[in-house]
Structure 1
Amino acid sequence: MACPINTEDIGKLKIFIEFVSTQPSILNLPQLGFFKKFVEQLGGKVPEANFQHNAGAKTEAKEEKEFETKMEDPEPESDIELELLDTIIEGDADPLQEMGEDEKMPTDDEVDQASEFRGKGAASYSDGEYEDAINFYTQAILLNPTHALFYAKRAQAFIKLCKPNAAIRDCDRALHLNPDNAAAYKFRGRANRLLGNWEAAAKDLRQACKLDYDDETDDWLKEVTPNAKKIELHNIKQERKKAEMEDEARRERVRKAQEANKKAAEENEKKQYSSSDDDFMSSLGPDVMEAFNDPEVAAALQDVMSNPANIMKYQNNPKVMNLLKKFAGATGGFPGGIPGMGGMGGFPTFPSAQTTTPNHPKSNSKPKEEYDDGLD
């Protein structure tokens, strides 16, 4: 089953999904509410954090706009050195020619009459009476609009009168009736050549030669091929350049989104640490907080935090030891360190704390008796 979404739209969707994967909070924007609802219906969960535009948002938007403008303004075809430009003619703007009734099914008599008009049209064309030839072919078409060759032959006469647009319309109709009509490809190719549509001309003339080769068609194909190849190569180059630019822009958007996401995560982490520090400090009590204003006590605390073994230096300083005991009480003995004060491990037992000598079990061994080896 063919995908109902074109390749360009799929590419844009891919870029959007890649961006959202790095900044999922963007789905909280009101404009993307429909997509957030879709994600949640599938069982997904969108972070509650609000999406914040960074300070360079306007600059990024401007860069994006410049990129889009650049994408829409590729190198013009006029920069290609083409040949035969002086032989291009202006397209005709005559009223649409009669095409006959789409649903008409001709009778046998009408088929015969149409063939007679076709013969008269061919004769007029051979005599150079192209207007008459067009009129006769038109009569044949009105009687039998199901015959593809009538349209192709009328297109041939339109080309002689330098009316390529009318010829293209007839050839389109002929190919609608018969997709393998070589004459229709041939004359549509010639009409496109007169209009300077080199690629379209080459494509039709190649197909005409493939279906029913003739020297005239081959000569026309050789005439348009150089210009067609130049344009084809130019277009390939432009498509490759466009793809590279799109890929570069996509990578840049993802990079910026990742940087913004990283910055937001770092800021959120800082806020969490700050909140943890505030909660910890508020739990110490006013007397402990007041003690921090004493430079001696603050320096001692910092010294002990850097190396818990340094507490022995302050065992005879009651001011410091009292603070440390209060500090230990507030933090439960400093298990695993203090929030916001990295490097603080468990404190050794305070020297001023009451300690008991451990009771060692009595030995059941008897005193060692003197041993007389009887050598004296």
Structure 2
Amino acid sequence: MGAEHYPPPWFSVAPMMEWTDNHYRTLARLISKKAWLYSEMLAAETIVYQTGNLDRFLAYGPEQHPIVLQIGGNNLENLAKATQLATPYGYDEINFNCGCPSPRVAGHGCFGVRLMLDPKFVAEAMCVIAANTNVPVSVKCRIGLDDHDSYNELCDFIYKVSSQSPTRHFIIHSRKALLNGISPADNRRIPPLKYEYYYALLRDFPDLQFTINGGINSIDEVNAARLEGAHGVMLGRAAYSNPWQILGLVDSAVYGAPLRSITRRQVLEQYQVYGDSVVRMYGLKPHIRDVMKPLLGLFHAEPRNVVWKRKVDAALLRCTTIKSILEETLGEIPDRVLDAPLTEVPSGSTDTFIKAKSLLPPPYTVSEEELL
């Protein structure tokens, strides 16, 4: 249908390797009809070298729209081929990964966040991707890496990529990356958040669209960021580990739709039908454990949640269907939890983002060198 037929990307779920797979996205769409969903990052080479097995990596249910495919890589030819192969699957946007700090990606592969040091190549990559698809393209990046973390360097990257390619949408993870051997988890925690860089980009690049990412963990904070001018807000782990309380409120609290009258029992009934239809669809994959994994956050912070997850873990050793696992374990969850409808949350504070806007760096000025 194209992105213009869907709600604006005011809220999106971040691409997370081994997390935002087809199973999680199916669950997410059962809970929220309006959130924008992203695939896991797929390396261009994976797509190119799996031409006989593309459905396993690229297929998804039509209900998952709006959905964005994220790809990574540093070879223009492979990026072009991968985009061509992915285009028939009908993703609503193609996103290019310039933010992953994983050693597997930014290390030997020399892509992900390392590409922020080569904006000329990123611009070329975006031109190649755009030339091979009929949907919008975007870039997801950090605010810098290692010692290349000044606001001006971030602006140089945004300016070069946007002025030399069709890219008009940037997702900004508001932390820099440290490539000194720390883990991806530490890279989401140790570098300080600098939301002021994000809000300065809104000021200095008024013709571009920016989505803010990093450290935002609730719908209150989503609305607070938007109230201060954020074009869109992206959540990662919070939307995965607590899908009911996060995704369940997106449609009403962010998009203004009526609060849905749906319960977790109903979500599980629908997901079970999906899950049992895909277990071992591709030989031994997906394993039943992979299909159950997204459900483990559905009762976050609820009574008996820990006991239920222990029982699920034990049931996975002998059960062969999602239905049998749920029948064996759901007795641990009180009916009042299973059948409780969604409830709205109170409005939150905007202090974090108000403070960020008071710390804006000086305006970016394009140097003569950059103009040349």
Q: Greater CA radius of gyration, 1 or 2?
A: 1
Q: Where is the strand percentage greater, Structure 1 or Structure 2?
A: 2
> Comparing both chains, which one has the higher relative contact order based on Cα–Cα distances under 8 Å and sequence gaps of 6 or more?
2
Q: Structure 2 length as normaliser, TM-score? A: 0.21
Q: Where is the helix percentage greater, Structure 1 or Structure 2?
A: 1
Q: Structure 1 length as normaliser, TM-score? A: 0.21
